């Protein structure tokens, strides 16, 4: 119910901000500003100190449908540079708008460690541990895990698993929050209670802050051919109010 109450309030309070600066590629509505999303007081310090690109800031939620900037980036890329029609896709921890977008045109299987959280998005969601995916090698044309690696203690193993279940020529999308300010990923396995994780990593269920360069290195080590499409190279998508600073990580299994 909270979702509908929030959405009702946003629709109402943004009714005077209709305009053509931003277009939502989920619902098609246009506004001069989208709604902001700010981190909690507990999360804020780490995010600011390391300038983490983590999905906060101005123009995050579409005031009409509440689609987020990170989903709009995916929808933009999958509508242009990486077509998804007819593909066999594994969607890890599916996000509502992205899942519906994919489901309309592709064959999508979704999984999560806690599938109950996602039943309303996909009633057929299956249990799976990303470090031990219950699928044969070479099963999928695409694997999408949008902002999941920062939650997984053994992220290298999860990357290898994603690589394994992809078909040769397949593409993985594993966007994650990152900092371009730090050369080394900030992680410490002994920090494993929510309060400390907020203070250290900027979210109570994150286990690290990735250094962007290190994140790309880990993905290469898992076997991927890695291409980073910087935010500056994504200008054609700025009108969808994508997250400033977030580039697209193109991961190919050759």
Size (the chain), residues: 254
3-state secondary structure of 158: helix
Locate all alpha helices (DSSP H) within the chain, ordered by sequence. 2-13, 41-49, 69-78, 96-103, 155-165, 194-201, 212-221
Instruction: Compare residues 11 and 156 and give the one whose CB is closer to Zn ion.
Output: 11
Given 67, 74, 106, 158, the residue binding Zn ion (CB under 5 A): 67
Nearest approach in angstroms of CB 106 to Zn ion is 21
Instruction: Compare residues 34 and 56 and give the one whose CB is closer to Zn ion.
Output: 34
Instruction: Compare residues 71 and 155 and give the one whose CB is closer to Zn ion.
Output: 71
Q: Does 65 bind Zn ion (CB under 5 A)?
A: yes
Q: Does 171 bind Zn ion (CB under 5 A)?
A: no
CA dihedral 167, 217, 229, 206 (to 10 degrees): 90
Cα 146 to chain centroid distance, Å, stands at 3
Given 27, 113, 199, 252, the residue binding Zn ion (CB under 5 A): 27
Nearest approach in angstroms of CB 145 to Zn ion is 23
Given 26, 185, 197, 198, the residue binding Zn ion (CB under 5 A): 26
Whole-angstrom distance, CA of residue 185 vs CA of residue 240: 30
Whole-angstrom distance, CA of residue 28 vs CA of residue 64: 9
Binding site for Zn ion (CB under 5 A): 24, 26-27, 62, 64-65, 67
């Amino acid at each position: 119910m909270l979702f509908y109450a929030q959405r009702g309030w946003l629709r109402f309070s943004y009714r005077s901000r209709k305009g053509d600066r931003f277009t939502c590629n989920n619902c098609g509505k246009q506004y001069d500003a989208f709604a902001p999303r700010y981190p909690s007081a507990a999360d804020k310090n780490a995010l600011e100190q390391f300038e983490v690109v983590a999905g906060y800031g101005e123009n995050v939620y579409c005031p009409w449908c509440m689609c987020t900037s990170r989903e709009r980036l995916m929808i933009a890329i999958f509508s242009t540079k990486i077509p998804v029609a007819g593909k066999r896709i594994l969607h890890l921890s599916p996000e509502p708008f992205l899942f519906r977008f994919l489901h309309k045109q592709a064959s999508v299987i979704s999984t999560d460690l806690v599938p109950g959280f996602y039943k309303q998005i996909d009633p057929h969601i299956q249990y799976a541990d990303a470090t031990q995916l219950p699928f044969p090698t070479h099963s999928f044309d695409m694997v999408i895990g949008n902002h999941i690696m920062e939650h997984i203690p053994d992220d290298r193993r999860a990357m290898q698993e994603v690589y394994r279940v992809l078909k040769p020529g397949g593409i993985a999308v594993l966007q994650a929050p990152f900092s371009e300010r730090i050369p080394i990923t900030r992680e410490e396995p002994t920090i494993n209670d929510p309060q400390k994780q907020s203070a250290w990593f900027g979210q109570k269920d994150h286990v690290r802050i990735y250094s962007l360069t290190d994140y790309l290195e880990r993905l290469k080590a898992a076997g991927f051919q890695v291409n980073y499409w910087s935010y500056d190279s994504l200008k054609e998508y700025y009108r969808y109010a994508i997250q400033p600073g977030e580039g697209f990580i193109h991961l190919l299994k050759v």
